[in-house]
Structure 1
Amino acid sequence: MASFNHFSIFSLALLLLASPLLQVARCQSESDEAAQTTEEASDIGVVGDDVQDFGDETFDSAPGIDTITLFPKNSAKLVTAGEETELLIGVKNDGESSLKVIAIKASVHLAVDHRILVQNLTTQVFNNGKVPATAQATFSYLFAVSKFLQPGNFDLVGTVVYEIDQHPYQSTFYNGTIEVVEAGAFLSIESVFLVTLGASLLALLGIWIHGQIQNLSKKTKRAPKVEVGTRSTDASIDEWLQGTAYTQSQANKSKKKK
């Protein structure tokens, strides 16, 4: 439980470090003994020219090593084709020995079939990436997918390679979906779909309201008046009074007139 609380505090600290001015990894010490070593790790640099080729070699992950990933100011995880995207990787060392971060690498795969490799991204090598025991550090990783990559959803797999007691290890810090968009595209595929769906629903709602108004107007129209002729009315009255004293009186009046 204590380890979980420490990692939660570390995650919060990583969010606070998500700033555009962040160019180097900063180390935070959790003990007085590790403070001096952590301060030395604050000048972690990236080797720009001498990049080691790790090939397809993979290593096991070391126990006690936790990682966390953040897309600073990019919660939608949108990656513009041909342009650099920044990732912040937090490494927490709960082991007994210090570790040395050697490199960070990543690759892009098809979302529908993770086995199909689309692109190997830049391998970023560090020349001073020590993380002492019971401490954590944040590393910035910049990558760019091909400008010819078709927009859509892809899987991004990111790995940090490190050494402990001169033994190589690696940990996957990210294995999830990203959305690649064209340069200058303001709307993502999901945004276009939502806008189209909203417009369709509004059109259907307008048609339904128009139909309801027409039905209501038909019901409120007055029924046409039916004029009843005198003859039909008199015939009806005579039929009702036939055989009564009234009809006999009317018959006698008719005879007198004649």
Structure 2
Amino acid sequence: MALKNVRVFFLALLFLSSSLLQVARCQVGSDVEPTEAVEEVGDLGIVGEDAQDFGDENFSPAPGVNTVCVFPKNGARVVPAGEETELLVGMKNDAGDSTLNVIAIKASIHLPFDHQLLVQNLTAQAFNNASVPASAQATFPYIFAVSKFLQAGTFDLVGTIIYEIDQNPYQSTFYNGTIEVVEAGNFLSIESVFLVTLAISLLVLLGAWIRGQIKNLSKKTKRAPKVEVGTKTTDASMDEWLQGTAYTQSLSSKSKKKK
């Protein structure tokens, strides 16, 4: 009975842990909470994420424009989930005598083995008065935050900067590589809690099974064979049925010889 109760408890605990894990994973695809638009006074003229809708339109890169990406003080490219991370985009304008006007920076998170599987679109940061003169270079900051529900692991970050030269739109990919997403400030993850709960449940079930086997073995060893002790009784009806037969005659002759 105790073993049956342990099994029922184990199944209920396993079902509850699986439900919690499934809910947490379903929330991974949810959008990041909207942040306030950033307004700074300066030469860059950062407008914010709601200034312009860039859609999914793609442009080709302009010849002679080179880009580079740096994660300041974060060479390992570790990104805490739900917290802001900053990177710097460097541009050099060798496209001729025209000035390059930066429009926006956008990025997205993808699975490493297939970039067609989009995990999250990050905030697009627009610029108002950001330009790079001919034969000059400039650096532009980009601050992003991945979803706090995103599972820790390795993902690919694809960052793109959109700009204009002579009123013609272009875009260049400044980063297309891996980042390491970690949980911010959480000692245990949902997966860790699930695995620990599952391990404890298995140990409890194994202990109950071993205890039951020991009890059954001890009961078998304590059982003693039944031995019937008593006097032999003779059935009177059997004696009457055997009277006058060779069996009774042989018995009587044996008794006479003994005398």
Place the TM-score, normalised by the shorter chain, in its bin.
0.5 to 0.7
Q: What is the aligned partner in structure 2 of residue 129 from structure 1? A: 130
List aligned pairs for 1:166-185, cutoff 5 A.
166-184=167-185
Q: What is the aligned partner in structure 2 of residue 253 from structure 1? A: none
> Contact 2:92/2:136 (CA < 8 Å) preserved in 1?
yes
**Using the alignment, how far apart are the partners of 2:92 and 2:115 within structure 1?**
28
* Partner amino acid, structure 1, of 2:76: A
Question: Could you say what the CA RMSD is over the residues aligned between the two structures, in angstroms?
Answer: 2.2
User: What's the TM-score, normalizing by structure 1?
Assistant: 0.55
> Contact 2:49/2:126 (CA < 8 Å) preserved in 1?
no
| Number of matched pairs | 149
List aligned pairs for 1:1-258, cutoff 5 A.
43-48=43-48, 50-96=50-96, 97-184=98-185
**Using the alignment, how far apart are the partners of 1:95 and 1:113 within structure 2?**
33
> Contact 2:48/2:127 (CA < 8 Å) preserved in 1?
no
* Partner amino acid, structure 2, of 1:75: G
**Using the alignment, how far apart are the partners of 2:156 and 2:101 within structure 1?**
27
SS for the counterpart of 1:86 is strand
Which has the larger displacement, 48-57 or 87-96?
Answer: 48-57
* Percentage identity across paired residues of the two chains: 70
> Contact 2:39/2:47 (CA < 8 Å) preserved in 1?
no
CA 1:177–1:89 in 2, change beyond 3 Å: closer, same or farther? same
**Using the alignment, how far apart are the partners of 1:105 and 1:63 within structure 2?**
20
Q: 1:112, CA displacement in angstroms?
A: 2.0
SS for the counterpart of 2:51 is coil
Q: Deviations over 1:16-48 (max 9, x none)?
A: xxxxxxx999xxxxxxxxxxxxxxxx7112103
Q: 1:63, CA displacement in angstroms?
A: 0.4
CA 1:105–1:166 in 2, change beyond 3 Å: closer, same or farther? same
> Contact 1:64/1:94 (CA < 8 Å) preserved in 2?
yes
- For structure 1, list consecutive stretches of 5 or more residues without a partner in the other structure: 1-22, 26-41, 188-258
> Contact 1:51/1:123 (CA < 8 Å) preserved in 2?
no
Which protein, 1 or 2, shows the higher relative CO under an 8 Å CA cutoff with sep ≥ 6? 2
